[in-house]
A = this chain, B = another copy of it.
Amino acid sequence: MTATTDRRGELLRIAATLFAEKGFKNTTVRDIAEAAGILSGSLYHHFDSKESMVDEILSTFRAQLFAAYGDVLASDDDARAKLERVVRLSFEAIDQHPAEVAIFQNDADHPGSFERFGYLAERGVQSRDIWLSLLNEGVETGALRPDLDVHLVYRFIRDTVWVAVRWYRPGGDLSHGDVADQYLSILLEGIASSAD
């Protein structure tokens, strides 16, 4: 890592925080420059455009995340254990990369606004297939209830996990492991008392 690379990374970190807080469109190039202590024109020495910045932020994060998913899937755990690990991995990602997750949630989802991020949709499909295969395997092996619509279960899990980025604060009272524990307990066992 040269000094140039470090500066790039620092600027991307600053931009990511602002994008996460205010949204991509709502964050101006001048905002980013001001937060970095330079003027807007100077940013273009490091990056081609505002879009190339968010592009680099998201693609870097996405690559890390899917590499981690790959490790879990390649293991020989059973479906339920894999499912738990993927959930824990996701809360860990929220803990360690909250800005990136927030940008995904807030900006990369809008149908019209991010046509150029088609590769994100592809990865979304890939992610869905991972979850669906785990859920189906869980049903087949008898670990999960057979009477539920797995597609619906998938959407509930996906949304609930990622949307936690809206309220989870790294370094707060709850660790990402605590949140994952409680979440998995609710998801797997439900909130009704077992005596009910």
- Using CB atoms and an 8 Å cutoff, list the residues of chain A in contact with chain B: 21-23, 25-26, 80, 106, 109-113, 142-146, 148-149, 152-153, 155-156, 159-160, 163-164, 166-167, 174, 179, 182-183, 185-196
Of the residues B21, B149, B191, contact of A182 by C-beta under 8 Å: B149
Q: Are B22 and A110 in contact (CB under 8 A)?
A: yes
Bound complex: CA A196 to CA B141 (Å): 11
Which residue in B159, B179, B182, B190 is a CB contact (below 8 Å) of A163?
B159
Q: How many copies make up the complex?
A: 2
In Å, the complex CA distance between A40 and B103 comes to 31
A164 contacts B160, C-beta separation under 8 Å: no
Select one of B144, B160, B183 contacting A192, CB under 8 A: B144
Given A112-B21, A196-B143, A152:B166 Cβ within 8 A: no
Closest to A112 in B: B22
Assembled-state Cα–Cα distance A74/B4 (Å): 63
The 8 Å CB contact of A152, one of B112, B182, B195, is: B182
A179 contacts B152, C-beta separation under 8 Å:
yes
B residues near A25, Cβ cutoff 8 Å: 23, 25-26
The closest CB in chain B to the CB of A183 belongs to: B156
| Minimum CB–CB distance for A72 against chain B, Å | 18
